[in-house]
Amino acid sequence: MIATLLSVALLSSASQLTAPVEAPFRLGDDAIIVDVMVNGRKISCMFDTGFGGWLVVNDQINLGKATGTARLRDFVGEFEVKTVPIQSFQIGGLSLSGPMGEIVQQPLAHMTFSYGTHTDGIMGLEPIMNYVTEINFEKQKFIFHPRSVDITKRTPDNKRTFLVKMLPRGINAIELTATVNGKPLYLALDTGNAFYATTHKESLERVGLWDPNRKPDFLTTAWVASGPVDSFYVRIPKCEIFGVPVEDSIWSVIDLPSSGADSDGTVGFGFLKHFNIIFDYERRYVWLENWSGKVTDPHKGHVGFRVQHTESGDYVVFGVFKGGPAEAAGIKDGDRLRVIDGKSVTTMTPEQVEAALEGDVGSVCKVAVSRQGSLIRAEIQRKVLANEVQ
User: DSSP letters along 95-117, please?
Assistant: EEESS--EEEEE--TTHHHHHTS
pLDDT for residue 134 = 99
pLDDT for residue 10 = 41
pLDDT tens-place values along the chain, 390 residues long? 555 444 333 444 444 789 999 999 999 889 999 999 999 999 999 999 999 999 999 989 999 988 887 776 655 566 678 899 999 999 999 998 766 889 999 888 888 877 878 999 999 999 998 899 999 999 999 999 999 999 999 999 999 999 999 999 877 899 999 999 999 999 999 999 999 999 999 999 999 999 999 999 998 877 666 567 889 999 999 999 999 999 999 999 998 776 565 789 999 999 999 999 999 999 999 999 999 999 999 999 999 999 999 989 999 999 999 999 999 999 999 999 999 999 999 999 888 999 999 999 999 999 999 999 999 999 999 999 999 998
Question: Nearest to residue 123, comparing CAs of 75, 192, 59, 68?
Answer: 192
Q: Are 117 and 28 in contact (CB under 8 A)?
A: yes
Structural domains of the chain sorted by starting position, each given as residue range(s) with its CATH number in brackets:
3-132 (2.40.70.10), 151-289 (2.40.70.10), 306-388 (2.30.42.10)
* b/e per residue 195-215 (b: at least 16 CB within 10 A): bbbbbbbbbbebbebbeeeee
Strand partners, 23: 142
pLDDT for residue 220 = 83
Q: What distance in Å separates the CA atoms of residue 217 and residue 244, rounded to the nearest whole number?
A: 29
Q: What distance in Å separates the CA atoms of residue 217 and residue 196, rounded to the nearest whole number?
A: 19
